[in-house]
Amino acid sequence: MKIKEMMKFAWDNYKQYALGKNELRPLTKNGHIGNMFGGLRGATVVDALDTLYIMELEEEFQEAKKWVEKSFDLNVNGEASLFEVNIRYIGGLLAAYYLTGEEVFKSKALELGEKLLPAFNTPTGIPRGVINLGSGMSWSWGWASAGSSILAEFGTLHLEFLHLSELSGNPVFAEKVMNIRKVLNRVEKPQGLYPNFLSPVTGNWVQHHVSIGGLGDSFYEYLIKSWLMSDKKDSEAKKMYDDALEAIEKHLVKKSAGGLTYIAEWRGGILDHKMGHLACFSGGMIALGAEHAREERKQHYVDLAAEITNTCHESYERSDTKLGPEAFRFDAGTEAMATRLSERYYILRPEVVESYMYMWRLTHDPKYRQWGWEVVKALEKHCRVEAGFSGIRDVYTTTPTHDNMQQSFFLAETLKYLYLLFCEDDVLSLDDWVFNTEAHPLPINHTDFKASVQQ
């Protein structure tokens, strides 16, 4: 099918021009290393493994596996993002292991997991955002206020770390993430909301900025998914999710003059009527949680998920390329469009098609497949270049400039979710798998998940 061909094209070009680098630069036909993964290389290989496997691109999967076996070096030095290494590398390796049973993926995941542990050596056990994988030294992002750690970073470790404990028999990984939860349960939440910045030294919030988009997003996602992954035993996670969603709905969910439902950002009680592309994952998250809500709330959450997904679709529909901007606003007469030049770009992000996939599985309303197909066509028209796929700098022009970057999450997430949107529901059934925030499938433990909920 078409999406499989797109994946092959993205992979083949990465392999030809950038194998062993982190991403492909499709215009200049070379590789990009960047500074997110310390000295680690091959982000696109590890992110693509499970998508290649699921799409039955057998030869390409073997090429990727061979690279992991022969060339993936974990003895590196350099400043890595704990969060990015966890969601892309650990998540990618774990999913590849669970799908194939190949030991190499498991042993690399465990070895890398060990290297992340020193980041948790702080007074509260809340990890710092940056770690040197060689020395184990860790520190906070320079841009994060007052040495704080970021909610969406330290709150997006739970799924992978429980599996690391499960596979290694070493409880330390589970202990680290259960402790994060303890700290979060202790601290007072303004209006029931979770701000984005927390001090790893005091365990207190550093700023009262709340967002379901960047800096907050996947923390909420991992609450409901932790509960699902524990086969619905981790009731603490479910309660945290239910309470957080209720507070978000009360304080952040708004309807525009034109009738579009959106989730605003909150700065110490003042609303910023803006929604980031990243926040568009929330339609899918709310859909995923809806059937497990209290009986009288179920339909309400199905409707809310559908409305948010519709708003995100509108942000695509209102652009000339039919791809959505990085952020869109609802103020001064604007509805679901970017108002600032700096927010008009699209970097092959997955969140909107992610929500289409969940909404499709929940409702089987054919419009979600139609919307997904519109995205396929737009990607082909505006992002496909001679040697791969590229992001674009302005979604509001039909002759956009390319950013010369094929993000690894395009292979891990965007193409995988599009593919699953057109598959039968039993391909990676949501009854058996949860997707980590980089779309790497992790199995739900239907038996006894030792590490998960006992502490």
What residue has token string 């690399």? 108
Whether 326 is a known active-site residue: answer: yes
For ligand DMJ, the closer CB: 435 or 449: 435
CB neighbours of residue 267 within 10 Å: 14
In the complex, minimum distance from the CB of residue 256 to ligand DMJ, in angstroms, rounded to a whole number: 24
Cβ–Cβ contacts within 10 Å for residue 429, how many? 12
Residues 83-102 that bind ligand DMJ (CB under 6 A): 87
DSSP strand pairing (261-263 vs 253-255): antiparallel
Nearest distance in Å: CB 349, ligand DMJ: 4
Q: Report the distance separating Cα 72 and Cα 265, nearest Å.
A: 40
Residues in a beta bridge with 149: 198
Least gap, CB of 374 to ligand DMJ (angstroms): 19
* 217 classed as catalytic: yes
Residues 150, 197 contacting (CB under 8 angstroms)? yes
281/368 with CB nearer ligand DMJ: 281
Which entry of 47, 160, 326, 354 is annotated as an active-site residue?
Answer: 326
Mark 408-427 with x for binding to ligand DMJ (rule: CB under 6 A) and - for no binding: -x---x--------------
Q: How far is the CB of 332 from ligand DMJ (least distance, A)?
A: 27
Handedness of CA 194, 196, 201, 202 (dihedral sign): negative
Query: Smaller CB distance to ligand DMJ: residue 148 or 282?
Result: 282
User: How far is 171 from 164, CA to CA, in rounded Å?
Assistant: 9
The answer to whether 317 and 375 have CB atoms below 8 angstroms apart is no
> Could you give the CA distance from residue 431 to residue 36 in angstroms, rounded to a whole number?
33
Question: How far, in Å, CA of 235 to CA of 397, rounded?
Answer: 48
* Residue 321 among known ligand-binding residues: no
The residue within the footprint of ligand DMJ, chosen from 438, 441, 449, 453 (CB under 6 A), is: 438
Task: Candidates 349, 361, 382, 416: give the one binding ligand DMJ (CB under 6 A).
Answer: 349
Nearer to ligand DMJ, 159 or 451 (CB): 159
> Which one among 218, 315, 321, 355 touches ligand DMJ, defined by CB under 6 A?
218
Q: Considering the candidates 153, 234, 242, 351, report the single residue annotated as catalytic.
A: 351
Question: 86 with 160: CB under 8 angstroms?
Answer: yes
Active-site residue flag, 351? yes
In angstroms, give the least distance from the CB of 34 to ligand DMJ: 13
Using CB atoms, what's the residue nearest to ligand DMJ?
A: 437
Q: Are 309 and 288 in contact (CB under 8 A)?
A: no
User: 50, 60, 217, 394: which one is catalytic?
Assistant: 217
Hey, what are 438's tokens? 């980089």
Interface positions, 255-284, toward ligand DMJ (CB under 6 A):
278
Q: Is 350 in the site for ligand DMJ (CB under 6 A)?
A: yes
Cβ closest to ligand DMJ, residue 125 vs residue 350: 350
Catalytic choice (23, 47, 50, 84): 84
HEC per residue, 218-282? HHHHHHHHHHHHCCCCCHHHHHHHHHHHHHHHHHCEEECCCCCEEECEEECCEEECEEEHHHHHH
Q: How many residues bind ligand DMJ (CB under 6 A)?
A: 9
Q: Between 118 and 284, whose beta carbon lies closer to ligand DMJ?
A: 284
Between CA 13 and CA 7 the distance in angstroms is 10
Reported as type and span, the H/E element at residue 442 is strand 441-443
Q: How far is the CB of 158 from ligand DMJ (least distance, A)?
A: 13
- CA proximity to 412, closest of 66, 34, 1, 14: 14
Does 437 bind ligand DMJ (CB under 6 A)? Our answer is yes
CB of 205 to ligand DMJ, least distance (A): 21
Question: What residues form the annotated binding site?
Answer: 437
Query: Catalytic residue positions?
Result: 84, 217, 326, 351
Q: Which residues bind ligand DMJ (CB under 6 A)?
A: 87, 218, 278, 349-350, 409, 413, 437-438
Q: Specify binding-site residues for Ca(2+).
A: 437
